[in-house]
């Protein structure tokens, strides 16, 4: 690695998705990933005997072009599928995006003619640097398919774990999950070291961040990723504003032609199409466009 000789090198933020994946998506750090999973999930110990990272990440192999897939996919001993991702930006339809993505992971297990009974459980872990569930006070919530009346579990084929960093309490709740999340929230080396002081696993994690922060290549990619995220946010805001304006104008025209109510409906529809068209022009992913507008992938592709 190329080292920076300065002792005052600012540590990279572990909340940046590429840094997060450098830590937990590298096969050589599988022990750290296992510890993180254990702190979040309620699975038997045997599930962790053989953890396989399906999409292993190596900084040496990181492509020059922007990579947009930065989650960590895992198979457990029995074949359960676990997907871990860290998201720092919220957008309309984010909960629907989670459901959509988990459904895709579920569908990918079956080929034509396969038996449904062979499907393995899909578990999503979404760590968010924003508040998604405003009516829930806990920072970690777990969701399944259940009967609204009796609470009976319908199927455990899908499990969604949401972790909202802004809800993390200042005082420890005596769980390793709190320590991991406090580490992610840390903004200085001193804050990281304070969390790591009593936890050898967190100490190893901080050591990796320190090593990455001294690596010029890692810093270059991290800074490029931060810029890409800023640019995407700006493009999203601009496209949404322009799309709404365009949709309003078209809606007013349709309103004069078809009557107020039909025109309002047409305006909403045209607004969504205009927003989608503008987002597509900004190279925003189809997944994000679908979640933001409610349009299907096929409708977006046809624009």
pLDDT tens-digit map of 51-92? 999 988 766 666 555 455 578 999 999 999 999 999 887 877
Q: What is the CA radius of gyration of the chain?
A: 22
Nearest to 208 by CA among 20, 10, 5, 48: 20
Please give the average per-residue pLDDT across 22-28, as a whole number: 91
Output the pLDDT for position 188.
86
**Range list of β-strands (E), the chain:** 52-53, 72-75, 81-87, 122-128, 140-146, 153-164
Each residue's pLDDT tens digit, 92-101: 788 988 998 8
200's enclosing H/E stretch is helix 200-213
For residues 276 and 291, the answer to whether their CB atoms sit within 8 Å is no
Report whether pLDDT(173) > 50: yes
């Amino acid at each position: 690695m190329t080292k920076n000789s300065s002792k005052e090198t600012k540590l990279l933020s572990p909340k940046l998705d590429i840094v997060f994946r450098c830590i937990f998506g590298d096969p050589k750090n599988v022990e750290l990933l296992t510890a993180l999973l254990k702190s979040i999930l309620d699975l038997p110990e045997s599930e962790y005997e053989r953890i396989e990272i399906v999409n292993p990440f190596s900084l040496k192999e990181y492509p020059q072009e922007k990579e947009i897939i930065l989650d960590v996919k895992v198979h457990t001993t029995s074949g359960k599928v676990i997907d871990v991702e860290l998201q720092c930006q919220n957008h309309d339809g984010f909960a629907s995006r989670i459901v959509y993505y988990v459904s895709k992971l579920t569908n990918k297990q079956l080929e034509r003619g396969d038996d449904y009974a062979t499907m393995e459980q899909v578990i999503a872990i979404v760590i968010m640097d924003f508040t998604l569930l405003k009516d829930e006070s806990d920072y970690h919530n777990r969701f399944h398919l259940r009967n609204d009346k009796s609470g009976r579990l319908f199927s455990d084929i899908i499990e969604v774990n949401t972790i909202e960093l802004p809800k993390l309490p200042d005082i420890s709740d005596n769980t390793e999950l709190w320590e991991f999340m406090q580490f992610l929230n840390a903004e200085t080396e001193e804050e990281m070291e304070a969390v790591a002081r009593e936890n050898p696993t967190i100490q190893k994690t901080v050591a990796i961040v320190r090593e990455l922060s001294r690596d010029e290549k890692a810093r270059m990619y991290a800074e490029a990723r931060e810029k890409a995220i800023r640019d995407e946010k700006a493009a999203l805001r601009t496209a949404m504003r322009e799309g709404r304006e365009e949709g309003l104008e078209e809606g007013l025209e349709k309103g004069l032609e078809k009557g107020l109510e039909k025109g309002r409906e047409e305006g909403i529809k045209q607004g969504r199409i205009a927003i989608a068209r503008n987002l597509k022009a900004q190279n925003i992913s189809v997944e994000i466009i679908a979640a933001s507008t409610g349009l299907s992938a096929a409708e977006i592709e046809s624009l």
